[in-house]
Amino acid sequence: MTIRFRMLKTTVFTSLFSLFLVRIASGQAPPIAPPHTEPLEKYNMPPAYIYRLETSPRMISQFGSFTSFQVNVDANGNNIVGDAANEPSITVNPTDLSKMAIGWRQFDSVNSDFRQGGYGYTTNSGATWTFPGVLESNVFRSDPVLSSNETGTFFYLSLLQSFCDNVWSSTNFGQSWTRLQPDGAAGGGDKEWFTIDKTSGIGHGFQYQTWSTAATCGGGQFSRSTNGGVTWMNPISVPNSPVWGTLDVDTNGNLFIGGGNFGSQFWCVRSSNAQNGGVTPTFDRVTSVNLGGSVWFGAPINVGGLAGQIFLAVDRSGTATNNNIYMLATVLPTGASNGTDVMFSRSTDGGLTFSAPHRINDDPINHNKWHWFGTLSVAPNGRIDSVWLDTRNAANNTDSQLFYSFSTDGGLTWAANVAVSDAFNPFEGYPVQQKIGDYITIVSDNTGGNVAYAATFNFNPSRGQHEEDVYYVRVAPPSSVLTLLSAASRLTHAGAGTFDVPMPLSGVSGVEDRSSATYNAVFTFDGAVTSGQVTVLSGTATVGTISFSGNSMTAPLTGVTSAEIVTLRVQNINGDGQLHGDIPFGFLTADVNANRIVDRPDQQQLQTDRGQPVTASNFRDDINLSGVVDRPDVQSVQTNRGHSIP
């Protein structure tokens, strides 16, 4: 277990987390250092005196088809010059997707690290935002986390300087907020996160909260509210003490907590009885998850904070991927000393086991590059959306862009990565703290995802640098998804030409009766295809190098036996991340009349046609692909007689 923490300056930075000191011995892995004993998420500086004369228009940043709208604006909709805003959390009204709210850490002046609970709302799908103010003026708040229940009531979890927290609610979609309990009565701790049970089970409406062990409010690490966030149980411990993570609920009401150990160990922890309000929750499953590296605090890309935290989300789509559990983290890859990747793993058995880690960022491996602040969300239809910040296009390996990918097959494959924002320098506009927060967030619906992120697009002339602000952008799969029109098995008959055996896209397969060491599965679409994937779901075939021509894609198949059905999965055409079909290909050598058995009528047909050159009407008779119906074709029927396929 290796923790890669770096202290880049002798100055101790103010942070949401405990600092770790690492001694690097020549030729040895750095030892694990205990958390700093003094929590640093605390009141350090008073609110700064604010005197503003400057104004500037709000930033609307266009990048291709994606538009990022500034969220933290003044009463006139203009940029607030001289402030800073970061660490945004977004929630969306599920009954009206045009209504959203975002909470963030609001620094009224970059000259002080005093932060408050900022929030903004929109009623027109993010095109304009209103920032009425902070939750409580001149009250230190941090680590905002927003969510909503299924009826559209919004909730805002906010950390106080005491490491206790409060839950606030809004019944008008974030336009105003009501505190649900006195300060500290909700428990809490550093890096707190919460989720809401939206299922129809006995835990419906319950809220669950977990936090880091580095700094807590009265001990413990987990709490539950059974009355909509108003009151909370006394905190209890969680096995293995997972930190820096999130939590979610499956359709059966089971609670899952994802987190890590400040380094390379990750866990998924289940409670199946937290939904029972009459008992103190217990945890009945702890599963180790391999995410291919270590969480990195103090990485050069975000010196005073995390390169990204750990996210867990559950699929509640009711589809074939229902109750899949997904975990994602930004990690320093195992064996690397620099750079981070966005890594993903999934469980299809209720958290009992998890898949090998999958790297979502698809650029060539380069440990000088940063793929950071990775996060994910699952849409109601089961699509997974992921966004992160990325330096792949930056010569200085610093300037970052927001990137997007998605999966429609439960995380098995991911769409080609797409940049959705202009590049920005994350080192500018620091409000004394040398970081741009610790996370960004996304909430998905059936057609796309709503993203809240921090960036430095606005330029502050008085300071001669850009400033940190919060932005909203909508991401979605491309609308130009191709349709698979047909499939066929294509072979060449010597000089007679090439002929296809059609393969229906569903139902009973076609029958390829010709004998070949390599078969060609050809798929035709309603537009030009330049990339795609073909995998074998059943059967003994091996897929070779796929080729593309116009609207067609050809996958060579080897290792096919003389009597079997091979099912081929076609997906991710032109990087769209979509499943385009599972097509059965029937192979039965010498079944020239395609009745799914090699029998006497096949032999009679060949004897009648023997000696004829191959044409489009009789090419099935040419089993050996010689270009002529001949004696070896007749012998092939005799050899395979009695063979059949379903």
Whether the predicted pLDDT of 35 surpasses 50: no
Residue 337 structural domain: 56-475
pLDDT of residue 185: 82
Question: If you average pLDDT over residues 120-138, what whole number do you get?
Answer: 95
- Give the DSSP letter string of 284-322: -EEEEE--SEE--BS-GGGTTSBS--EEEEE--SSSTTT
Domain boundary among 420, 451, 475: 475
Distance of CA 379 to the CA centre of its chain: 11
Where among 440, 475, 510 does a domain terminate? 475
Q: C-alpha angle with apex 540: 603 to 592, nearest 5 degrees? A: 15
Residue 376 belongs to domain with CATH number? 2.120.10.10
Average pLDDT over residues 146-174: 96
Which of 29-33, 308-312, 444-448: highest mean pLDDT? Answer: 308-312
Residue 20 pLDDT level (bands cut at 50, 70, 90): very low
Whole-number percent of the chain with pLDDT over 90: 82
Residues 490 and 471 in one domain: no
Please choose, from the candidates 464, 442, 438, 459, the residue with its C-alpha nearest in 3D space to the C-alpha of residue 451: 442
Phi, psi angle pair for 605, to nearest 5°: -60, -40
> Does residue 436 sit in the same domain as residue 490?
no
Asked whether the predicted pLDDT for residue 14 surpasses 60, the reply is no
SS3 414: coil
Number of domains in the chain: 2
Q: Which residue has the higher pLDDT, 8 or 300?
A: 300
Q: Do 489 and 464 share a structural domain? A: no
Residues 281 and 351 in one domain: yes
Is 60 exceeded by the pLDDT of residue 10?
Answer: no
Same domain as 191, residue 104 = yes
| pLDDT over 80 at 19, yes or no | no
pLDDT value at position 530? 87
Residues 613 and 494 in one domain: yes
Can you list the positions of beta strands (E) in 435-592?
Answer: 441-444, 449-455, 459-460, 465-466, 469-475, 484-492, 498-503, 510-512, 518-525, 533-538, 542-543, 547-549, 552-558, 563-571, 579-588
* 18 located within any domain: no
- What interhelical angle do 631-640 and 600-609 show, nearest 10? 180
The rounded percent of the chain whose pLDDT value lies above 70 is 92
Report the chain's mean pLDDT, rounded to a whole number: 90
Residue 203 located in a structural domain: yes
For the residues 259-282, what does the mean pLDDT come to? 96
Sheet bearing 563-571, strands edge to edge? 510-512, 579-588, 563-571, 533-538
Q: Which residues of 196-235 are buried (b: 16+ CB within 10 A; e: fewer)?
A: bbbbeeebebbbbbbbbbbbbbeebbbbbbbebbeebbeb
What pLDDT, on the 0 to 100 scale, is given for residue 218? Answer: 80
Least confident of 13-17, 58-62, 288-292: 13-17
What confidence tens digit (pLDDT) does each residue in 389-433 have? 999 999 999 999 999 999 999 999 999 999 999 999 999 999 988
Cα distance between residue 454 and residue 536, in whole Å: 42
pTM strictly above 0.85: no
pLDDT of residue 539: 95
Residue 16 in any domain: the answer is: no
Pick from 425, 445, 475: which residue ends a domain? 475
Q: Does any domain span residue 48? A: no
- Does 63 score more than 50 pLDDT? yes
Q: What is the pLDDT averaged over residues 131-159? A: 96
Angle, alpha carbons 231-235-238 (nearest 5°): 135
441 pLDDT above the threshold of 80: yes
Q: What is the largest CA-CA distance in the chain?
A: 100
Residue 45 falls inside a structural domain:
no
Same domain? For 460 and 513 the reply is no
515 and 471 belong to one structural domain: no
| pLDDT tens profile 81-101 | 999 999 999 999 999 999 999
**Domain presence at residue 558:** yes
- Clarify whether residues 352 and 390 are in a common domain: yes
In this prediction, residues 163-186 reach a mean pLDDT of 93
| 364 falls within a domain | yes
Establish if 232 belongs to a structural domain.
Answer: yes
Are residues 335 and 299 part of one domain?
Answer: yes
Clarify whether residues 150 and 226 are in a common domain.
Answer: yes
pLDDT tens profile 237-266: 999 999 999 999 999 999 999 999 988 899
Assess contact for 220 and 241: CB atoms under 8 A. Answer: no
Q: Are 244 and 380 members of one domain? A: yes
